[in-house]
Amino acid sequence: MIDQIVDWSLWDFLTVVLLTFSLFMLLAGVFTAYFGSGKSRTIGIVLLVVGLVVGVVWIYLCGFTDVIDVELSAVFWNAVIGIMGALIGALVAVGIFLLAIMKS
């Protein structure tokens, strides 16, 4: 299992980058289109469409063609594990920092 986590190719890295970009563009687009008005709403719709197009195209290229050789499920779960590990480590460090500052 550890050799799968460490052994990332350029395609694996690009998959994580582009799917994360796509997800956050979708979320920003929904948020901006819902709460914005006028030009902001239009920008939100554009963000939503860009996120949707990038995500769908990349998933299509990874899963249904031989253009990009990536195993989506393995890359996804490795990315989730890495992000969760980083988040837990950061939260523990911030907690210890706050505890130390509050006690002094």
pLDDT digits (tens, 9 = 90+) for 54-63: 999 988 888 7
Retrieve residue 91's tokens: 């939260």
Residue 31, CB-side half-sphere exposure with 13 Å CA sphere? 7
What pLDDT, on a 0 to 100 scale, did the predictor assign at position 28?
A: 94
CA distance linking residue 56 with residue 20, whole number of Å: 12
pLDDT digits (tens, 9 = 90+) for 77-86: 888 898 899 9
CB proximity list for 75: less than 8 A, separation 6 or greater: 8, 12, 15, 16
71/59 Cα distance (integer angstroms): 10
Q: Could you give the maximum distance between any two Cα atoms of the chain, in Å?
A: 59
pTM score over 0.75: no
pLDDT number for residue 30: 95
The mean pLDDT value of the chain amounts to 87
Q: How many CA atoms lie within 13 A of 66 on its CB side?
A: 0
